[in-house]
Chain A
Amino acid sequence: MSGPIDLTEVDFAEIKQNLIDYLKSTEKFTDFDFDGSNLSVILNLLAYQSQLTAYSTNMIANESFLTSATLRDNVVMNARMLGYVPTSARAAQSMASFDFKLDKDDYPNGFPQYLEIQPGMIFSSSNGLNNFIFNIIDTQVSSVSNAGICRFDGVRIHEGILLSHTFVVDESDWSQRFMLQNEAIDTSTIRVEVQEDPSKEVNHNYKEAKNLVKLTQESRVYWLEEGENKYYELTFGDGLFGKKLENGAKIFCKYLITNGNLANGIQGENNYTFVARVIDSYGTVVTTRPIITAIEPAEGGAELEDVSSVKFHAPKSYAAQSRAVTEDDYETIIRDIFPAVQDIYVFGGETLPLPEYGRVYVVVKPTTGDALSTLTKHYIKKSLDPYRIASLDIVLVDPEVVNVEIISNVFYDEKQTNKDSAAIVAAVKDTLKGYGESNSVSKFGGAVRYSQIVSSIDDSDLSITRNNTSLRMRKDVEFLVDQPASYEICYLNEIKPDCDGPVIMTNGFKLRIDDVIDDRLFYFEDDGVGNIRTYYYNSINEKIIHDKEFGTINYVEGEIKLGYQKPITFTEVQASDRFLKVTAIPKNQDIIATQSLFINLDIANSSIVAVIENKVNNQ
């Protein structure tokens, strides 16, 4: 008895088998089992066609939903339905200050009133691997003093190349689109001017609109969306919301294309060369080169938001509804404002031991470095203003970065491998590096699990038989040079008190004691009962305890306090290091990142030694 043919499979063999099952039930034909038969030819054809249709249907269904789509264009189109625009690449930014000292001989009729720098290249720079151009997006003008000095202070510079593109509105082209055909564009640098009347050479600035709120039919706005092939598209008003462009109107777009995160971290005035064309108020080109007085380290460069990030953030952005209310809202909005972020932790001031109501604390760990510059913090705080709840104060604080060092003796059976001890160490470090970069460690709320470290080491190479491993926590304290201050060093993990010896170790440092710089190299340690004491080594290398009340330690809270009784003045640290490195032995095997603590598994400073195993089981 023949039944319906089941054609819902997506596998060729299964579809063919279903067709065969159907033919079997009809008992009319028998040759379907033989590859050479005509029936087999027909069955192959039918099965192949069904499989193609099933596959296409499956893919179309997948690509129709945000969660299952895989092609970027489809993910972006689905995200667009939630009102989400993927974050474009972001140019590394910095803030530069420079002075022009004009020569009197060049201006016999008196100094000009001002100097002007047009948008475009301003500095060339290099990080040793690549060369970069830094630009200004908007015209910079500064007045010249009577002494001929013109100071440009805090000029925001962006890495990349400034491009421009002009569109002409053509109403006869019903499908006209205004696409900026470059995928490396930084959309925050887009400047749009429109010559609305083709017969009048007057340009108007247009601003980006995020929604329809407060828009009228005269609002000069444009919307930005990602279109196909990672290109961004401009759309203009329809005459109801936003001004409608007339036929023949000219749209002048200026934007920056960038190298993303490659230029992050360039610092030092010597790495920048001034290349801008400067014009004075008389309209002549200034040949004097300026003196660069200050340039912040470049930061904030990021790549175009990838597919997985769009899929993750689009629903959250929709949930935030362009309002920073919950902690997740802050995270989503900050990532949109400043994409070069590794992780964000947000908490309300009311959760502090001494509650601070009406404050939201935002801890941002950037992708490069441990903390954001003051400039970037200010930029983020200002950019959060349109989203925040009125009267709520936003405070951006630096993460407490704790470096975890691994001390490990790795035993390996030399008969099981042709690697030497250095290669074994390299393999172990490589594995641990992967573990350190994994999502379970390098984030707020992450943890370094002792058992995972130990098993990762064992799994690094087949010849490794066992390992003896311990963990240490290290904080790099940036001290104030030659200024009296008190310091609090928090590990937010319990420290193991030990009566037999100290559990706190530091690198050497020098102090100013009683207003005199002491030339001895000091260290500090704990005494096992809650005090921090300094010591030094004398000429015959004996350890001499110097100050028994240098500070205090709370083992349970994992907290060291220095200079709370009497402020301390550090003058320098050993080996021209920038930081005072304070190492502590944790009480628990696992190190957990709670609150604003961010764990960095420091493989470079870990001590891993490979030892040949002499107790190998012969079996």
Chain B
Amino acid sequence: MEPTQLKRKVKQFVDVSLAFEPNPLNKDLTVLKNERAINNSLKNLIFIAPKEVPFTAEVGSNTREYLFDQIDVGTAGLLKLEIERTIEFNEPRVEIIELTVEPHLDRNEFMVNVVYKIVGYDQLFYFDQILSPTR
């Protein structure tokens, strides 16, 4: 009788890259895995405006509205709350450890830094994104 082999199945998050560039090795579609997939998801959620997704109005964030306000600490506070709400509401894989939004007055932009854990794992991951108003 052969001994039973126990194999630990590691959960992976696999997403497709919207760049649609072929993998240089196997010419397959580029995939994003784990924290890269989640970072990309966070970016998407922040950029999607509510009602943009058909028939699902609650997905996305209102960050765009704040970007045209004054670049100051007050707006940054509101932006932080909105991003926090968006992640907690739409991204169940992420547990936020720290979220900061810094106003860069001279460059007319906000710097968003997120430190998070993937739910069920101990490792910390970092995500940052510059938000600047564009017309």
Name 13 A/B residue pairs within 8 A (Cβ), A-sorted: A12-B54, A29-B16, A30-B12, A31-B13, A31-B15, A34-B93, A35-B59, A36-B40, A37-B15, A37-B41, A38-B17, A38-B41, A41-B18
Closest Cβ–Cβ distance, residue B99 to chain A (whole Å) = 16
Closest Cβ–Cβ distance, residue B19 to chain A (whole Å) = 9
B48 on the A face (CB < 8 A): yes
Closest Cβ–Cβ distance, residue B125 to chain A (whole Å) = 15
Across the interface, which residues of A come within 8 angstroms of B48, CB to CB? Answer: 36
- Bound together, the chains give a CA A35 to CA B41 distance in angstroms of 8
B45 on the A face (CB < 8 A): yes
Which residues from chain B sit less than 8 Å from chain A, CB to CB?
12-18, 31-32, 37, 40-45, 48, 53-56, 59, 90-93
Q: From residue 1 to 35 of chain A, which have CB atoms closer than 8 A to chain B? A: 12-13, 28-31, 34-35
Residue of B nearest to A34 (CB): B41
Taking a contact as CB atoms closer than 8 A, the residue among B16, B42, B90, B93 that contacts A38 in the complex is B16
A479 on the B face (CB < 8 A): no
- Contact across chains for A36 and B13 when beta carbons are under 8 A apart: no
A319 on the B face (CB < 8 A): no
- Bound together, the chains give a CA A574 to CA B54 distance in angstroms of 72
- Bound together, the chains give a CA A37 to CA B32 distance in angstroms of 10
Closest Cβ–Cβ distance, residue A52 to chain B (whole Å) = 9
- Contact across chains for B18 and A38 when beta carbons are under 8 A apart: yes
Closest Cβ–Cβ distance, residue A28 to chain B (whole Å) = 7
Total contacting residues, chain A, CB less than 8 A = 18
Across the interface, which residues of A come within 8 angstroms of B41, CB to CB? Answer: 31, 34, 36-38
- Contact across chains for B13 and A30 when beta carbons are under 8 A apart: yes
Across the interface, which residues of A come within 8 angstroms of B13, CB to CB? Answer: 30-31
Given known A31-B37, A31-B41, A48-B54, contact A36–B14 (CB-CB < 8 A)? no
- Contact across chains for A38 and B12 when beta carbons are under 8 A apart: no
- Bound together, the chains give a CA A44 to CA B55 distance in angstroms of 10
Closest Cβ–Cβ distance, residue A420 to chain B (whole Å) = 47
- Contact across chains for A29 and B92 when beta carbons are under 8 A apart: no
Given known A39-B15, A44-B54, contact A34–B92 (CB-CB < 8 A)? yes
- Bound together, the chains give a CA A13 to CA B53 distance in angstroms of 12
Taking a contact as CB atoms closer than 8 A, the residue among A42, A44, A47, A51 that contacts B16 in the complex is A42
- Bound together, the chains give a CA A315 to CA B82 distance in angstroms of 61
- Bound together, the chains give a CA A44 to CA B31 distance in angstroms of 19
- Bound together, the chains give a CA A36 to CA B93 distance in angstroms of 11
Q: Mark contacts of A388-401 with chain B using CB atoms, 8 A cut-off: 1 yes-contact digit, 0 otherwise.
A: 00000000000000
- Bound together, the chains give a CA A47 to CA B54 distance in angstroms of 9
- Bound together, the chains give a CA A28 to CA B32 distance in angstroms of 12
Residue of A nearest to B42 (CB): A36
- Contact across chains for A29 and B17 when beta carbons are under 8 A apart: no
**Known contacts A36-B43, A38-B40, A48-B54; can you find 18 more A-B pairs with CB under 8 A?**
A12-B55, A28-B14, A29-B14, A34-B91, A34-B93, A35-B56, A36-B59, A37-B15, A38-B16, A38-B17, A38-B18, A39-B16, A41-B18, A41-B44, A42-B16, A42-B18, A44-B56, A47-B54
- Contact across chains for B91 and A36 when beta carbons are under 8 A apart: yes
Across the interface, which residues of B come within 8 angstroms of A34, CB to CB? Answer: 41, 90-93
Across the interface, which residues of A come within 8 angstroms of B56, CB to CB? Answer: 35, 44
Q: Mark contacts of A334-369 with chain B using CB atoms, 8 A cut-off: 1 yes-contact digit, 0 otherwise.
A: 000000000000000000000000000000000000
- Contact across chains for A37 and B40 when beta carbons are under 8 A apart: yes
- Bound together, the chains give a CA A163 to CA B95 distance in angstroms of 77
Given known A12-B55, A31-B37, contact A38–B14 (CB-CB < 8 A)? no
Closest 8 CB pairs of A and B: A36-B41, A36-B45, A31-B15, A36-B44, A48-B54, A35-B59, A38-B18, A12-B55
- Contact across chains for A31 and B14 when beta carbons are under 8 A apart: yes
Across the interface, which residues of B come within 8 angstroms of A44, CB to CB? Answer: 53-54, 56
- Bound together, the chains give a CA A301 to CA B3 distance in angstroms of 95
Closest Cβ–Cβ distance, residue A37 to chain B (whole Å) = 5
- Contact across chains for A29 and B31 when beta carbons are under 8 A apart: yes
Given known A12-B54, A12-B55, A38-B40, contact A30–B14 (CB-CB < 8 A)? yes
Across the interface, which residues of A come within 8 angstroms of B59, CB to CB? Answer: 35-36
Across the interface, which residues of B come within 8 angstroms of A39, CB to CB? Answer: 15-16
- Bound together, the chains give a CA A409 to CA B42 distance in angstroms of 71
Residue of A nearest to B28 (CB): A28
Across the interface, which residues of A come within 8 angstroms of B31, CB to CB? Answer: 29
Most buried by B among A41, A48, A51: A41
Closest Cβ–Cβ distance, residue B67 to chain A (whole Å) = 19
Closest Cβ–Cβ distance, residue A20 to chain B (whole Å) = 14
- Contact across chains for B32 and A38 when beta carbons are under 8 A apart: yes
Closest Cβ–Cβ distance, residue A153 to chain B (whole Å) = 71
Closest Cβ–Cβ distance, residue A392 to chain B (whole Å) = 62
- Contact across chains for A36 and B17 when beta carbons are under 8 A apart: no
Most buried by B among A12, A31, A48: A31
- Bound together, the chains give a CA A38 to CA B38 distance in angstroms of 10
- Bound together, the chains give a CA A13 to CA B56 distance in angstroms of 9
Residue of A nearest to B54 (CB): A48
Q: From residue 22 to 79 of chain A, which have CB atoms closer than 8 A to chain B? A: 28-31, 34-39, 41-42, 44, 47-48, 51
- Bound together, the chains give a CA A34 to CA B48 distance in angstroms of 13
Residue of B nearest to A47 (CB): B54
Across the interface, which residues of A come within 8 angstroms of B15, CB to CB? Answer: 29, 31, 37-39
Across the interface, which residues of B come within 8 angstroms of A29, CB to CB? Answer: 14-16, 31
